[in-house]
Amino acid sequence: MACSCKLLFGKRVAGLPARLKPRFLSGLPESDLNAALSAATHRHFLAKSVVLHHGDPADRIFLLTSGIGRHFVLPGDGRKVILYWLTAGQVFGGMTLLSESQDYLASTELLSDGCALVWDKKTIREIVSRHPILLDNALSIAATESFAWLMGAYVSLCSEDATKRVAHMLVSLACGIGKKVPGGIEIPVVNEDLANGANVTPFTVSRALTAWQREGVLTKGRGKVFLRKPELLLTA
């Protein structure tokens, strides 16, 4: 697969893709940033790859440099509960930063082909000890991005109206993983994802999307939803 990461011989990392500025690495002087990148390993992943498994020892942290991913758990009743979506520039496997041994709290999968930089626990702990700003960045990400996502999901689930829950979930996804395209916002999501996230049936999702499509609010596509008028989603 094509990759815009800057690589040296083998899997050594020489630089990030152009215009990618991960919050986790912000504040590092260029020389320290280059040193941190050179200590990482570059990995390619195919679409639908499960990169981390819930309950496995947290021994690696990942910086997604291309592709779209998400965290999920399997509660045991056959459902896949989606927790948080990931786009290029975000990190996952953050439990690795803790001094004590921990397990991953959720599984992580990629929905598209993508690549990531990977640091093992010993390496990233040494880097963080030299550059405490990275720990501050990680805490900031947890307190803003993750909380904002969970708040959006909670608001969705608190709505008594099933259609409104789907609408709130679409708005949250548009803000989190939506891609601005001419005429609207494209969201890579299927009906089952919306149903699981909003705690409704796939039939409810299908019925709501069909109604919104008739009203011109969105267009359904294969594996995606195109929001034409997101400002009308909660009032349509």
Q: What percent of the chain has pLDDT over 70?
A: 91
Same domain for 198 and 89: no
**Does any domain span residue 173?**
yes
Mean pLDDT value across residues 212-234: 88
Question: What's the CATH code of the domain at 209?
Answer: 1.10.10.10
pLDDT at 7: 84
pTM exceeding the 0.85 threshold for the entire prediction: no
Which tens digit of pLDDT belongs to each residue from 103-157? 999 999 998 899 999 999 999 999 999 999 999 999 888 877 666 666 666 666 6
Residues 103 and 184 in one domain: no
Confidence at 81, pLDDT banded by 50, 70, 90: confident
Average pLDDT over residues 191-216: 88
Q: Which of 153, 186, 210 is the last residue of a domain?
A: 153
Domain count of the fold of the chain = 2
Three-class SS of the chain: CCCCCEECCCCEEEECCCCCCCHHHCCCCHHHHHHHHHCCEEEEECCCCEEECCCCECCEEEEEEECCEEEEECCCCCCCEEEEEECCCCEECHHHHCCCCCECCCEEEECCCEEEEEEEHHHHHHHHHHCCHHHHHHHHHHHHHHHHHHHHHHHHHHCCCHHHHHHHHHHHHHHHHCEEECCEEEECCCHHHHHHHHCCCHHHHHHHHHHHHHCCCEEEECCEEEECCHHHCCCC
Please give the pLDDT value at position 151. Answer: 67
Which structural domain, as residue segments, surrounds residue 196?
159-232
Higher local confidence (pLDDT), 55 or 4:
55
Question: Both 34 and 79 in a single domain?
Answer: yes
Residue 73 has pLDDT above 80, yes or no: yes
What average pLDDT score do residues 3-10 get?
78
Has residue 1 been placed in a domain?
no
Average pLDDT, the chain: 87
